[in-house]
Amino acid sequence: MMTNLKPGKLLAIAIATLALLALPILLQATGSNSWARIVDIALLYVLLSLGLNIVVGYAGLLDLGYIAFFAVGAYLYGLLASPHLSETFPAIQAMFPNGVHINIWVVMIVAAVVAGVVGMILGAPTLKLRGDYLAIITLGFGEIIRIFMLNLDRPVNITNGPKGLSQIDALTVFGINMGQRQTIAIGDWSYTFQPVTMYYYLFLFFVVLSVILSYRLQDSRIGRAWMAVREDEIAAKAMGLNTRNLKLLAFGMGATFGGMSGVLFASFQRFVSPESFSLMESVMVVAMVVLGGLGHIPGVILGALVLAGLPEVLRHVAGPLTEATGGRLGPEILRQLLIALAMVVVMLLRPKGLWPAPEHGKSLAK
């Protein structure tokens, strides 16, 4: 596949690869881990956006409760990789005296399967709904999951309620603990990788894997069937497509991405609570997909990076504006106002997104 690429594209791919590999090292050289952490969170949002793009961009199903699958993956890893269950249930304490610490790759597979099943359960009662009605149902589902996690601390304490789950294990990949500093020494030279840098490379690996999978899905028979349902469901059904199964598959596949992202999030934060999975988070992920360009993978990635990084960049702008207004508007309010204004301007100037998918006729002409 690489041999069919032009030399110019190969050079661009090589430069982009080197830049991505060097980025966390350059950020770490600033002496602060804050920017590297922002990039890590942005990559997590990219994973979420790629998963939601399957549901919204490919199949045309507006899902405002997508963050629920993120919560399912995060809490599943939190329960299977922390001392909470052992401290709460004597029977589990007897089996796991040092706490439950299931292998990350086992949890990743379980989270993907559980989130996928939950996604199909959500999709089953919404098969005949479209547009606003579908959005309201999925919004309600997302809130139900959050409230469920919030109140499932009595009569049996499973999720620890509003206190959340803490002391969650960091990821261990090939014997390397991602939550600890790792030092490489060659002769007299040595370099120490911070945990945020280690997680960056792990998240980047999953992003690349998700991009490849998304492209494969897009070009497959299932992907084309999803797009047929998105453009005209009645015509797709008339052509013999099983729209019911296609919708369920879209919900399940998108939820799988969300569940795996939740596992990575829980291991990175080492703590999860219901506040991390609010309605605003779902709205932000939907905004990333729409702002970047529905159904276009590069556009979705760009939208996720912009909306994940923009709030942090605007922190530096909100401070001087607060001083200019005599402190009447707080920095947080101004920051949210600037984000909203930026989104309005972008959607007015680029209604199809920052990087929309090429039109079908133009792509055929090329």
Across residues 337-348, what is the average pLDDT? 84
The rounded distance, in Å, linking the Cα atoms of 208 and 204 is 6
Residue 280: per-residue pLDDT: 86
The torsion angles phi and psi of 186, rounded to 5 degrees, stand at -130, 100
pLDDT at 231 over 50: yes
Domain boundaries, the chain: 23-183+190-275
What is the pLDDT confidence band of residue 366, given thresholds at 50, 70 and 90? Answer: very low
- With beta carbons less than 8 A apart as the criterion, state whether 73 and 259 touch: yes
What is the pLDDT confidence band of residue 360, given thresholds at 50, 70 and 90? Answer: very low
> Judging by beta carbons within 10 Å of its beta carbon (0-12, 13-18, 19+), is residue 365 exposed, middle or buried?
exposed
Two tokens, residue 180: 């600890």
Tell me: the pLDDT tens digits for 232-267? 899 999 999 999 999 999 999 999 999 999 999 999
Across residues 301-312, what is the average pLDDT? 89
Tell me: the pLDDT tens digits for 23-42? 988 888 887 788 889 999 99
- With beta carbons less than 8 A apart as the criterion, state whether 251 and 33 touch: no
- Report which DSSP code applies to 295: T
What is the pLDDT confidence band of residue 4, given thresholds at 50, 70 and 90? Answer: low
Residue 364: per-residue pLDDT: 36
The torsion angles phi and psi of 172, rounded to 5 degrees, stand at -120, 115
Tell me: the pLDDT tens digits for 99-122? 788 888 888 999 999 999 999 988
What is the pLDDT confidence band of residue 359, given thresholds at 50, 70 and 90? Answer: low
Tell me: the pLDDT tens digits for 31-81? 778 888 999 999 999 999 999 999 999 999 989 999 999 999 999 999 999
Side chain identity, residue 336: Q
The rounded distance, in Å, linking the Cα atoms of 184 and 176 is 12
Two tokens, residue 225: 């069937």
- Which residues does residue 272 pair with via DSSP β-bridges, in sequence order? 165
Residue 183: per-residue pLDDT: 84
Two tokens, residue 239: 């052509």
Residue 5: per-residue pLDDT: 60
What is the model's pTM?
0.90
pLDDT at 3 over 60: no
Residue 35: per-residue pLDDT: 87
Residue 220: per-residue pLDDT: 93
Residue 226: per-residue pLDDT: 94
Tell me: the pLDDT tens digits for 80-101? 998 888 888 888 888 888 778 8
Mark out the alpha helices in the chain (DSSP H runs).
Answer: 7-28, 34-53, 67-80, 84-88, 90-95, 104-123, 131-151, 195-219, 221-231, 233-238, 243-269, 279-292, 297-324, 331-349, 360-365
Two tokens, residue 22: 């060097």
Tell me: the pLDDT tens digits for 132-190? 888 888 999 889 999 999 998 888 899 999 999 998 988 888 788 888 888 887 777 77
pLDDT at 365 over 70: no
